Amino acid sequence: MGGAAPVVDSSGHLWVGVGNGSITSAGHAYDNSDSALELSSSLQLMQFFAPSDWRSNNANDLDLSTAPALLPGGQVLIAGKTHTAYLLNAAHLGGIGGQQAAVGSVCSGDMDGGDAMVGMTVYLPCLTGISAVRVARSPAASRLLWSTGTGGGPPIVAAGLVWTIAQSGSLYGLDPATGRVRQQTSIGTPANHFPTPSVGDGLLLAASANQVAAFTATAPAPSTSKPTTTGNTVPTVDPSSQPTAARGGAMSPGVIAGVIVGGLVVIGGIGWFLVRRRMTSTGRHA
């Protein structure tokens, strides 16, 4: 297995990203390493893709390391530690070197873990910051939409933002179109680079090494009064990083109350509009 959980498609087939294997020379046959695999519901191998340089990737720990992103229209995007994202035909993965297209230099660090997807855009986890790749169907093509030095942990998309946890211990909400920081707060240093935000029952959840922070949107404060917070006050975020709705207009900023589960400590919050609940999980696409 690679750095993310399998993805299940509408037919019940499993799509798996596989990391590096032990075969590094031309004297041995391909072993399904450094690959994207489609498995039946009974775990029988149906088809696979691997880069043409899979042996070299195995030798240098440069394997595919994200979850396969199953795009609308029968395409698949998977990326790895060579900083290359491969666009595949889901109906015919093509075996070794069978990609439809590839885009290189999508980030400057290792990519590891689950990705997030909205329409034809895939948000990839890169240790140096999230990268967004836009895919086209006809002709099949992919291009880097943006790359940011912010965040880096496996992303999700919820309430119109891309959420990611940085190694510094900050939770970021990024603009999906530009990568610009819209929301930010500290939750504590994570245990490693795999922790992923999640959404459920109206809560945004984010884990650090020893605690879980839960955020929920409260009712908007009246325009004539100041917003209130529960618990300790979080340092003010630069207004330029706030969503447009939180900076003016008819809508007043919401207030997030953060509940720390690990220590039963209530922390202050940041404005967050839960306009809609939608979650594209890291390595948990359905």
37 and 166 belong to one structural domain = no
- The whole domain housing 79 covers 1-147
**Is residue 139 domain-shared with residue 174, that is, in the same domain?**
no
pTM score of the predicted model = 0.75
Do 137 and 155 have their domain in common?
Answer: no
**Same structural domain, 131 and 155:** no
Q: Which of 86, 112, 147 is the last residue of a domain?
A: 147
> In CATH, what number is assigned to the domain containing residue 96?
2.40.128.630
- Looking at the structure, tell me whether residues 24 and 122 fall in a common domain: yes
Token representation of residue 115: 């990705």
Per-residue confidence (pLDDT) for residue 20, from 0 to 100: 87
What CATH number does residue 266 fall under?
2.40.10.480
* Same-domain check for residues 121 and 162: no
Tokens of 150: 């912010």
Query: What's the number of domains the chain is made of?
Result: 2
Indicate if 5 and 133 belong to the same structural domain: yes
**Are residues 268 and 53 in contact, defined by beta-carbon separation less than 8 angstroms?**
no
Among residues 123, 147, 171, which one ends one of the domains?
147
DSSP the chain: --SS--EE-TTS-EEEEE---S--STTS---S-SEEEEE-TT--EEEEEE-TTHHHHHHTT--B-BPPEEETTTEEEEEBTTS-EEEEETTB--EET--SEEE--S-SS-B-B--EEETTEEEE-BTT--EEEEEETTTTEEEEEEE-SS--SPPEEETTEEEEE-TTSEEEEE-TTT--EEEEEE----SSS----EEETTEEEEE-SS-EEEEEE-PPPPTTS----SSSPPPPPPGGGS-GGGSSSSSPPP-EEEEETTTTEEE-------S------TT---
Task: Tell me: do 138 and 270 sit in the same domain.
Answer: no
Q: Are residues 155 and 208 in the same domain?
A: yes
Which residues in the chain come in under a pLDDT of 70? 1-3, 217-286
Domain end among 97, 120, 147: 147
Task: Kindly report whether the peptide bond that precedes residue 235 is cis, defined as omega within 30 degrees of 0.
Answer: no
Both 86 and 204 in one domain: the answer is no
Q: What is the pLDDT of residue 1?
A: 54
261's CB contacts (< 8 A; 6+ apart) are 211, 212, 213, 214
122 and 3 share one domain: yes
Whether residue 102 is found in the same domain as residue 231: no
For residue range 19-69, what is the model confidence (pLDDT) as tens digits? 989 999 888 899 999 999 999 999 999 999 999 999 999 999 998 989 999
